[in-house]
């Protein structure tokens, strides 16, 4: 197959591993900078142009779209979908996953465990907001934050009120969540491919006073065996978000696993390092399984 990896940096671990895994299985792998793609739109003739050539020969794409370029990146994925190219991450699922509020609403409607969460339109009732999620300490998150950035733990009510008012003062949209004390700076990431957990790791904050376990923030990852409830929760969350490939982040709690995020472009370095599992290869096999069906449908349409 001809497979495109939509990535802005060919040197990134995840991009390199996907290319290596695809080539190992005999596929032609190309890294395409999606921000340099030109979208040609015409009646019944959508096309993607890149460096002066038509990208009309790909059987599948693997989007690795950064949060800061979600809008254009999703448009490129959508254009390939219009060309009947199979995508490891569907454009709508990508957009859905990047909207923290919408994601939480989807998971809540599906009955999936979540920390108590408040979203408001610059409300002045900061005391009521804090009490609604169980009182201080509380976690305050920017809706647009990624990789642990824009996440604040307010230890007491006064600090929480100050942080909320400061964010409101600069018209930043935020959510306020309960702090799950028993998680103790630990979260779990389950990596989902094609509706199955293919690897899981336990991430733990190592710096004193740090509650964020993100590897980008200095967290340490170790392999973990998921409980039946954790596995079922992770699979259900990815399915409800419409993601064939996903990193599902959960907090252990007294009332079961609680989802904090479903990531549509999860990194491979941490999960492969912790589990020693060829996750990239599993993603390629997912494409092999589904792109073939997609190609048959495309050929029927073009016949």
Yes or no: domain 117-179 corresponds to CATH 3.30.1490.20: yes
**How is domain 182-264 classified at the CATH fold level?**
D-amino Acid Aminotransferase; Chain A, domain 1 (3.30.470)
Q: What is the pLDDT of residue 297?
A: 56
Q: Do domains 117-179 and 182-264 have the same CATH topology?
A: no
Q: What is the 3-state secondary structure (H, E, C) of the chain?
A: CEEEEECCCCCCHHHHHHHHHHHHCCCEEEEECHHHEEEECCCCCCEEEECCEECCCCCEEEECCCHHHHHHHHHHHHHHHHCCCEECCCHHHHHHHHCHHHHHHHHHHCCCCCCCEEECCCCCCHHHHHHHCCCCCEEEEECCCCCCCCEEEECCHHHHHHHHHHHHHCCCCEEEEECCHHHCCEEEEEEEECCEEEEEEEEECCCCCCCCCCHHHCCEEEECCCCHHHHHHHHHHHHHHCCCEEEEEEECCCCCCEEEEEECCCCCHHHHHHHCCCHHHHHHHHHHHHHHHHHHHHHHHHC
The structural domains of the chain, with segments of one domain joined by +, span 2-89, 117-179, 182-264
pLDDT digits (tens, 9 = 90+) for 66-105: 999 999 999 999 999 999 999 999 999 999 999 989 999 9
pLDDT digits (tens, 9 = 90+) for 189-219: 999 999 999 999 999 876 655 555 555 555 6
Yes or no: domain 2-89 corresponds to CATH 1.10.8.100: no
Residue range 141-157: mean pLDDT, rounded: 79
Q: How confident is the model at residue 303 (pLDDT cuts 50, 70, 90)?
A: very low
Q: How confident is the model at residue 146 (pLDDT cuts 50, 70, 90)?
A: low
Average pLDDT, the chain: 90
């Amino acid at each position: 197959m001809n497979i495109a990896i939509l990535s802005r940096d060919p040197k990134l671990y995840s991009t390199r591993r996907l290319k290596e895994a695809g080539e190992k299985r005999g596929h032609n792998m190309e890294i395409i900078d999606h921000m340099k793609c030109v979208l040609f739109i015409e009646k019944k003739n959508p096309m993607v142009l890149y460096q002066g050539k038509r990208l009309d020969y790909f059987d599948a794409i693997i989007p690795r779209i950064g949060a800061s370029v979600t809008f254009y990146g999703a448009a490129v994925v959508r254009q390939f979908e219009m060309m009947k190219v199979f995508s490891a991450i569907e454009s709508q699922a990508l957009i859905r996953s990047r909207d923290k509020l919408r994601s939480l609403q989807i998971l809540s409607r599906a009955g999936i465990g979540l920390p108590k969460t408040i979203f408001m339109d610059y409300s002045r009732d900061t005391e009521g907001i804090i009490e609604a999620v169980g009182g201080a300490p509380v976690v305050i998150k920017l809706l647009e934050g990624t990789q642990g950035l824009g996440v604040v733990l307010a230890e007491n009510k006064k600090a929480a009120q100050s942080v909320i008012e400061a964010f409101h003062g600069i018209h930043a949209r935020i959510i306020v969540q309960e702090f799950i004390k028993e998680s103790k700076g630990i979260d779990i990431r389950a990596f989902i491919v094609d509706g199955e957990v293919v690897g899981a790791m336990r991430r733990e904050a190592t710096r004193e006073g740090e509650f964020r376990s993100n590897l980008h923030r200095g967290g340490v990852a170790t392999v973990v065996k998921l409980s039946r409830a954790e596995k079922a929760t992770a699979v259900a969350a990815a399915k409800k978000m419409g993601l064939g490939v996903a990193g599902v982040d959960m907090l252990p709690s007294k009332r079961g696993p609680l989802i904090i995020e479903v990531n549509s472009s999860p990194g491979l370095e941490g999960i492969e390092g912790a589990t020693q599992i060829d996750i990239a290869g599993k993603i390629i096999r997912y494409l092999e399984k589904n792109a073939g069906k997609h190609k048959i449908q495309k050929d029927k349409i073009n016949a």
